Chains A and B, each alone.
Chain A
Amino acid sequence: MNEFETNEQPRTETYVLNMGPQHPSTHGVLRVELELDGERVIKVRPIMGYLHRGIEKLMESRTYFQCSPYTDRLDYISSMNNNYGYCKAVEELCGIEPPPRANYIRAICAELNRLSSHMVYIGSLANDVGAVTGMLYTFRDREDILDIFDLLCGARQTCNYIRIGGVAQDIPAGFDEKVRKFLDRVPDFLKEYSDLLESNEIFQIRLKDVSVMTAQEAMDCGMTGPNLRATGVPFDVRKVDGYGAYPDFDFDVPTGEHGDNWDRYEVRYKEMFESAKIIRQALDGMPEGDYMAKVPKMLRPPKGEVFSRTEGTRGELGFYIVSDGTNKPYRVHIRRPSFVSMQGLNPMCRGGLIGDAIAAFASIDPLMGEVDC
């Protein structure tokens, strides 16, 4: 008697699908083990370490100044934010106070970089859900920001412009006009993105009410930044800590409601307007004075430890530095927001379809350089 005659349900098993490390949607070299029941995802297990370069260990054998270029290569799309986080931590460790002009320049750089990073986010999200054109539009406008960085420090991507005590050099001639010209264009091209993507029905269906995460789940996973704000928690380190020049600026913290893919996209989209607002205020109120505090050539911070956090592009970026009194850090630990966000992948994708796992993955915006460190 075979199983069809007994009227019993045929026995099924789950099976494991391996995605990556070479896959166009993994944003680098991540491997994901998907446990599937037919088309449904039961469990997602990210396997990392394919880009583990040992940055934390390398920093122990470098002086404090030499460490700063390594932070560029952590989150390589928003290097200015990483420089800012590291330099702020070292300054707190040594008790150096950056001059107000430096703080304003830093805020401009960090926000410009946030804009460029969110552009890459929108482009790659669109690409992963099937709209390849989105990437071409966002990368076109991102080049303008990279031109501004090129003018500032001669590098497009790994800037290393923000240094311990201030910034590497004063803003060059023509910087102000160039940034203002760019800011005038911001509403135009953001409208272009929304016309292109948000009005598209396929884009809406792929993102709305897919991979929902509640605020409690997101906080349990330790998620911060736009991913947490999409669930409705208005947590932004720029507001909470008010470091640098940020207390001087008037800006909102956009939040979502449902914590689905759409909200994660929308929060970042609205953040771009806020970033543009901050840059304009910083340009208007740019104080005169030094761009660099007095920093000794050989930096030997006093014995002790410090944990300093900033709002990176992907969330709360923390640097924990232990000093033993020499010119090299004894231990550096970096709290990388993308790494923490990866934990949210499993609760988000559970019960969804395989295709939605790709969209969920793109929507939390992980960057392998930062995940693996």
Chain B
Amino acid sequence: MEVVDIVPPVLKNNVAVTTIDKLFKWARGNSIWPLSSGLACCAIEMMSCAAARFDLARFGYEVFRAGPRQSDLLIVAGTLTWKMAPPLVRLYEEMPEPKYVIAMGSCAIGGGPFADSYSVVKGIDEVLPVDVYIPGCPPRPEALIDGMLKLKEKIMHPERVAESRKQFVRSIDVEKIEEANA
């Protein structure tokens, strides 16, 4: 028996029935609160995306938060260096569940033009589980919007997120890097 069948026929046209779980997913998918953490060039495109012309607010994603405790999406916009990796991982760990990560730009995906540098992490997926990759150097704001809509789809179907999370193994010990940096 479906949940909808519980509704008496008289109320069929006036009452919408859903599960709490589905309601939560719908709400989460339509009001993602990103953490305003810009690392490099892509951060400017992220700002453009939130500003007047591209207006991320149309989709409900405009509430950029300054602290990790209030946000549920980490947009890694820019080059991640070994010095920045431990603070970024800590930011991610401070965010409450459920949380998502977008790798924006080629640097975040795989090091980009700095892949052979001595100080750059070759892709943030070495230290964080990534949900959506957005290519480009930097990606245009349209691409970021598209990526966030893809993330919305993924939030609506969390079983896919769980699948990709299971595969994630942090290949690098962040605590060791922190010690080495100190």
Contacts and interface: CB of A to CB of B under 8 A. Distances in A.
A194 interface: no
A157 B138 contact: yes
B51 A139 contact: yes
B87 A22 contact: yes
Interface in A70-98: 70, 73, 76-77
B47 A135 contact: yes
A89 B39 CA distance: 29
Contacts of B37: 22
A256 B125 CA distance: 48
A61 interface: yes
B117 interface: yes
Chain A contact residues: helix, strand, loop or mixed: loop
A278 to B, nearest CB: 24
A49 B181 CA distance: 11
Contacts of A77: 44
Nearest to A27: B38
Contact of B40 (A22, A51, A70, A142): A51
A303 interface: no
A28 B116 contact: no
A136 B116 contact: no
A369 B135 CA distance: 20
B150 interface: no
Contacts of B53: 139-140, 143
Nearest to A144: B53
A331 B87 CA distance: 32
A52 B82 CA distance: 9
A356 to B, nearest CB: 19
B44 A120 contact: yes
B47 A143 contact: no
Interface in B34-70: 36-41, 43-45, 47-48, 51-53, 66, 68
A53 B84 contact: no
Contact of A28 (B43, B52, B140): B43
Contacts of A120: 44
- Interface residue tally on B, bucketed by range: 20 to 34
Contacts of A22: 37, 68, 87-88, 91
A55 to B, nearest CB: 8
Interface in A17-64: 21-24, 28-29, 49-55, 57-58, 61
Contacts of B79: 51, 53
B138 A158 contact: yes
B112 to A, nearest CB: 9
B119 interface: yes
A139 B53 CA distance: 8
B152 interface: no
Interface residues of A, number: 35
B103 interface: no
Given A52-B81, A158-B138, A368-B40, A136 B66 contact: no
B81 A156 contact: no
A53, A77, A157, A368 pick with most chain B CB within 10 angstroms: A53
B120 interface: yes
Nearest to B115: A58
Contacts of A21: 84, 87
B25 interface: no
B87 A69 contact: no
A50 B45 contact: no
Interface in B14-44: 36-41, 43-44
Contact of B116 (A23, A49, A58): A58
B40 to A, nearest CB: 6
Interface string A181-197: 00000000000000000
A55 B41 CA distance: 14
Contacts of B81: 49-53
B44 A54 contact: no
B113 interface: yes
B48 A139 contact: yes
A24 B41 contact: no
A53 B138 contact: no
A157 B119 contact: no
23 contacts: A22-B37, A22-B68, A22-B88, A22-B91, A24-B36, A28-B39, A50-B84, A51-B81, A51-B84, A52-B81, A52-B119, A53-B81, A57-B117, A58-B113, A58-B116, A69-B113, A73-B41, A73-B113, A77-B44, A140-B51, A140-B53, A143-B48, A143-B51
Interface of A: 21-24, 28-29, 49-55, 57-58, 61, 69-70, 73, 76-77, 120, 135-137, 139-140, 142-143, 146, 156-158, 368-369
Given A51-B84, A57-B118, 19 more contacts: A28-B39, A28-B40, A51-B39, A51-B40, A51-B81, A52-B119, A53-B120, A58-B114, A58-B117, A61-B116, A70-B113, A120-B44, A136-B51, A139-B48, A142-B48, A143-B51, A143-B53, A157-B41, A157-B44
